[in-house]
Amino acid sequence: QFVINAVNKAIEEEQFVVYLQPKINLITGKPYGAEALVRWMHPKRGMIAPAEFIPVYERNGIIGRLDQYMWRKVCALLRKWIDEGKEPDPISVNVSRVNIYNPHLVEILNKIIIEYRIPPQLLNLEITESAFMEDQSLVMRTVKRLHDLGFKIMMDDFGSGYTSFSDLCDYPIDVIKIDRNIVVRSTSHRGNAVLIGIIRMAHDLGISVL
């Protein structure tokens, strides 16, 4: 109940903070962009871990507001770097189920990047694999519109049991993020073969792998 009651004040006071988890280019060994992760820095309770509030917000639909808060924070950060003369790599942000089914999603994202004067290719959109499967025609239309605007689309948790490679042929997906369980199992001979097979097939489809 505290988590729900405190959300309005937390957003107004910008208690939610962006933490960047770097992505590493395995060829160069250097960072290439990052994923934006949310942390709640409460003035009295200190840092509240995402596991304590994200599931609650997902169940109550509040996650949609937090998504949009994070998109703005990331765009503001990118704008700051650009104004400082830097050339930032892309940052990926999460798009929850609540927002992927929001009929105004494309307009909201387009308005934000125009407001902050951010090239859309710098804001990568991560959508969980399961979200693609729930209303395929609606998600297909939304993802295609976002892709046409220049956003890079990433399928998160690929291999968690929902999508086949035949589905990837239909979606304008730029990157798949392989589910952690597949990576963990790659220590075995069969698990390694599965991982290699996924990477090869993705590359054959012109899709990058994370």
Q: Which residues pair with 47 in a beta bridge?
A: 41
Closest to 70 in 3D by CA, of 42, 106, 102, 94: 94
Closest to 54 in 3D by CA, of 114, 9, 98, 13: 98
Pick the range with the lowest mean pLDDT from 10-19, 88-97, 152-161, 199-208.
Answer: 152-161
Give pLDDT, residue 186. Answer: 86
Closest to 32 in 3D by CA, of 162, 152, 141: 152
The end-to-end CA distance of the chain, in Å, is: 36
Closest to 78 in 3D by CA, of 95, 90, 67: 90
Pick the range with the lowest mean pLDDT from 3-12, 103-112, 150-159, 163-172.
Answer: 163-172
Give pLDDT, residue 164. Answer: 63
Give pLDDT, residue 181. Answer: 86
DSSP code of residue 106: H
What pLDDT, in 10s, does the model give residues 80-132?
999 999 999 999 999 998 899 999 999 999 999 999 999 999 999 999 877 77
Once rounded to an integer, what is the mean pLDDT over residues 29-38? 94
What pLDDT, in 10s, does the model give residues 161-206?
666 667 778 888 999 999 888 888 888 999 899 899 989 999 999 9
What pLDDT, in 10s, does the model give residues 42-68?
999 999 999 999 999 988 889 999 999
